[in-house]
Amino acid sequence: MDGISHYARIERAIRFIEDNRLEQPSLDRVAAGVGMSAFHLQRVFTAWAGVSPKLFLRYVTLDHAREALMDARPVLDAALDVGLSGPGRLHDLFVTLEAATPGEVGAGGRGLDIRYGRHDGPFGRFLVAATERGVCRIAFEQEGENPVEALADAWPNARLAEDEAHTWRIAGEALAHGIDGGDSPIRLWARGTNFQIKVWEALLRVPAGRLVSYGGLARAIGKPRASRAVGQAVGANPIAVLIPCHRAIRASGRFETGYRWGSARKRALIAWEAARRERTGAGAAA
């Protein structure tokens, strides 16, 4: 079984936990709920996440989210002050975000060439689209949605060409940066308002394994009363993973809703990053 089918089972397990969270189901019950033995579930989680399901599932609890939020406040403030996304590393040297101009948006991408492709990754199938200016869209595939149609709607006058050979390399770089932290520069080119761009730039400075509240983001961009607008900007993010909107949650620590690619995927991304952070930094995983 490869990582793609692993993810499908991981997502089912997370959904089962979401649906039964008030009962706090045991590992045996989670395994039974997704049609697996506890032993098999253990193997799937270890192969996919590198940690045991018991530890991984701890990262999707309300208590962990609250801990990560409390920890994130001084970290985000420091990151925004000095431009760091991790120890000793200038994030802006690796991921840069450029906004499409009002004229480019108004023209609907007239004269713009966009190459796109669909690819498989550890969090499911996703679309990557890029221009010469940079990556303009990363979108996970969802039931009932067509990401290519959404791309065409965003840029109705652009020349779209399917080119998986080209976007395959970009997809690999995107996953390296968004999940593992890449070591080569990657450019993003996004359509958004000035306010949205500010929010997305703030998200770029939230380190992997940390979480930030919408209110925290609002304070970070100098708009402390704009939490609702910040939440809307986070939801409008067109570039999944690389602009890490999955790291923004409610101040209460709850994140069952509000992620455009599904709450189960959001939990999976958050837990994956938390597990990796613990394995490589804060401590060994069990």
Q: Average of pLDDT values for 166-189? A: 75
Residue 260 CB coordination number (10 Å): 18
Q: What is the pTM of this model?
A: 0.86
What is the pLDDT, as a whole number, of residue 32?
Answer: 93
* 260 compared with 21, residue with greater pLDDT: 260
Task: Cite the active site residues.
Answer: 245
CB of 64 within 8 A of CB of 274?
Answer: yes
Note the CATH number of domain 3-65+256-282.
1.10.10
Task: Name the region of 209 (left: φ>0; alpha: ψ -120 to 50; beta: rest).
Answer: left
CATH 1.10.10.10 in the chain: give the residue spans: 86-249
What is the pLDDT, as a whole number, of residue 105?
Answer: 94
And the tokens for 263? 């709450």
Render pLDDT for 193-236 as a digit per residue (tens, 0 to 9).
999 999 999 998 888 888 899 999 998 888 999 999 999 999 99
**Has domain 86-249 been given CATH number 1.10.10.10?**
yes
Lowest mean pLDDT among 21-25, 68-72, 256-260, 280-284: 280-284
Q: Taken in order 151, 153, 157, 162, is the CA torsion positive or negative?
A: positive
Q: Average of pLDDT values for 135-151? A: 92
> What's the chain's average pLDDT?
83
* 235 compared with 85, residue with greater pLDDT: 235
CB of 52 within 8 A of CB of 271?
Answer: no
* 27 compared with 235, residue with greater pLDDT: 235
Short-list 135, 169, 167, 136, CA closest to 150: 136
